[in-house]
Amino acid sequence: MTKKLLLLFDIDGTLTEPRQKITPEMIEQLEQLKDKENIDLGFVDGSDYCKQKEQLGQDKLNLFKWKFNENGLITFKENKEIHSNNSKYSKYSKNFKDYMGEKHFTKFINIILKNLAKTEIPKKRGTFIEYRDSVLNISPIGRACNQDERDEFEIYDELHNVRKNLIESIKQDWKNYCYFNEDSKPELQKINYSIGGQISFDVFPEGWDKTYCLQFVENEYDEIHFFGDKTYKGGNDYEIFNDKRVIGHKVETYKDTIKLLKLINK
């Protein structure tokens, strides 16, 4: 009996160059896979629908049976939304702000802003914090930078660990706040940080990483194969790559993904 497979992809650095559009060669491989009766395709990404549509294209989104926006806190199956983090199906039923409470969330933002201001790097632009329902995306250089500046920051970050150091500073300040604040509660310290893409990292409540999406597919397939590039500890693919429900495939760039898909398509 032929096994039923789900091929699940990260987007940035796996299906595309970071923040770039999907290539015709990648589309060709995905189209061939979609034609196989025993294979379904899906993607899981921390970004929202608009960014995914920008990179993959509106028409090519239909290649994917499963679309997991914001790590699966918003889930589409066959273009129909079947789950959102504010729905009755969610075990959390809250966004990040509601999870913390307005007072604590505002303090958390202030701590992030303070540490961003203290971060010394050659260039800074704009949009340093992007609030999504389930995730805060933090960028030391700012998401308003152009592609050349993205590339420059990525190299600088590899040499100086800007994002890693910023995360550690935020963690320590938040730990101190939670310890000394009389209104603190245990959930406030259950916050995860994961580096992704070229210029930023995500912050979210514990359990809201990419493994969140697996609850919707783990009983529908014989095997779930995940493809991602940030599979190291602290990377935003780490948890799902190492989950026992998944067979993980590490790639360095989208070109590695194409090579693996060609082998499957043979």
Question: DSSP letter string over 200-221?
Answer: EEEEEETT-SGGGGGGGTTTT-
Q: Which of 13-27, 107-121, 123-137 has the highest mean pLDDT?
A: 107-121
Listed in order, the ranges of the chain carrying CATH 3.30.1240.20 are 96-205
12 catalytically annotated:
yes
Q: In the chain, pLDDT over 90 holds for what percent of residues?
A: 80
10 catalytically annotated:
yes
pLDDT of 132 reads 86
Answering whether pTM is above 0.85, one says no
Give me the residues paired with residue 84 across strands. Answer: 74
Listed in order, the ranges of the chain carrying CATH 3.40.50.1000 are 5-91+209-265
Residue of 10, 40, 157, 237 marked active site:
10
The pair of three-digit structure tokens given for residue 8, joined into one six-digit string = 């699940």
DSSP secondary structure letters along 18-68:
TT-PPPHHHHHHHHHHHTSTTEEEEEE-SS-HHHHHHHH-TTGGGG-SEEE
Count of helix runs (H) and strand runs (E) in the chain: 8, 11
pLDDT digits (tens, 9 = 90+) for 62-88: 999 999 998 999 999 998 999 887 654
DSSP state of 111: H
Shortest CA distance to 214 belongs to which of 201, 206, 203, 226? 226
Fold that domain 96-205 belongs to in CATH: 3.30.1240
**pLDDT for 16 beyond 60:** yes
CATH 2.102.10.10 fits 5-91+209-265, yes or no: no
